[in-house]
């Protein structure tokens, strides 16, 4: 899986039934995120949002690294590149927020190291499965950068204040065991088990009632950001109680069979 599409391109999107896979594809520069990649990622997100058959997304990279973060050359030319859109393209921060807000769950397949801004892209995902060789660091202080607000909020809400301070204020590299301990990684597996574990999790998520999964994902993210729309959550709960999927789930439970959900 990691050796596909060695030639550098903007991120690739493949769709297989209920599963969409987005692959960062600049392996020679450790899948560095460049301005054209941000625009392409938004295009892929729009495709995913418009397809009701998609129930889970996998985000990964080609080669030995997940991603080395945002292109430092663009930051040198445009010091506000992470938080300010370029002509004809979005900001890094806005693309991360769009990734976090995708309606379907996203699994980050961490095929290797993750660095800089891409550590936040991984935090935008709902699950992060990495190998025993995984490593990460946040170099913002080392290069003189005050990080953008949405990324800091995700660090604190996902990892806690102490872990966020260590990563931001020391710029030290940490490895798989510590990434798991602070909650950065959801799971750690051996390299030869990475694809099987990601596939199993994606299959499991895709088998569940999509309206319920998507609604609960939205509510949990709102709670994490401390902007919980309780009235909206109540409306989503009421809609789920009236759905065909709930009737199917209850019937399947009584009949001791696997439910077949249709997202309505």
Q: What is the mean pLDDT of the chain?
A: 90
The reported pLDDT for the residue numbered 244 is: 82
- Give the residue range(s) of CATH 3.90.226.10 domains in the chain: 12-206
% of the chain residues with pLDDT over 90: 68
Q: State how far the alpha carbon of 169 is from the alpha carbons of 25, 142, 163, in Å.
A: 30, 9, 10
Write the DSSP assignment of 10-66 as a string of letters: SPEEEEETTEEEEEE--GGGTT-B-HHHHHHHHHHHHHHHT-TT--EEEEEESSSEE
% of the chain residues with pLDDT over 70: 91
Q: How confident is the model at residue 6 (pLDDT cuts 50, 70, 90)?
A: low
Question: pTM to 2 decimals?
Answer: 0.90
Q: What is the mean pLDDT of residues 73-101?
A: 72
Given a cut of 60, is residue 182 above it in pLDDT?
Answer: yes
The fold of 12-206 is 2-enoyl-CoA Hydratase; Chain A, domain 1 (3.90.226)
Q: Which two tokens stand for residue 96?
A: 């991360």
Q: What is the mean pLDDT of residues 200-221?
A: 95
């Amino acid at each position: 899986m990691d050796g596909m599409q060695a030639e550098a391109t903007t991120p690739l999107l493949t769709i297989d039934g209920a599963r969409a896979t987005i692959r960062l594809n600049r392996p020679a520069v450790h899948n560095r995120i460049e301005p054209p990649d941000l625009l392409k990622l938004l295009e892929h997100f729009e495709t995913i949002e418009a397809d009701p058959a998609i129930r889970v997304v996998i985000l990964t990279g080609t080669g030995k690294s997940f991603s080395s973060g945002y292109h430092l050359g663009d930051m040198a030319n445009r010091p506000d590149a992470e938080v300010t859109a370029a002509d004809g393209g979005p900001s890094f921060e806005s693309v991360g927020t769009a990734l976090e807000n995708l309606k379907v769950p996203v699994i980050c397949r961490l095929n290797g190291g993750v660095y800089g801004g891409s550590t936040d892209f991984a935090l935008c995902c709902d699950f992060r499965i990495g190998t025993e060789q995984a490593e990460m660091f946040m170099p913002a202080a080392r290069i003189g950068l005050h990080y953008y607000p949405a990324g800091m909020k995700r660090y604190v809400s996902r990892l806690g204040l102490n872990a966020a301070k260590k990563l931001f204020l020391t710029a030290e590299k940490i490895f798989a065991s510590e990434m798991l301990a602070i909650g950065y990684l959801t799971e750690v597996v051996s390299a030869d088990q990475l694809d099987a574990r990601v596939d199993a999790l994606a299959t499991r998520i895709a088998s569940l009632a999509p309206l319920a999964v998507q609604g609960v994902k939205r509510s949990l993210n709102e709670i994490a950001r401390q902007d919980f729309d309780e009235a909206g959550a109540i409306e989503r709960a009421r809609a789920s109680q009236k759905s065909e999927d709930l009737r199917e789930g209850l019937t399947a439970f009584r009949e001791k069979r696997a439910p077949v959900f249709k997202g309505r």
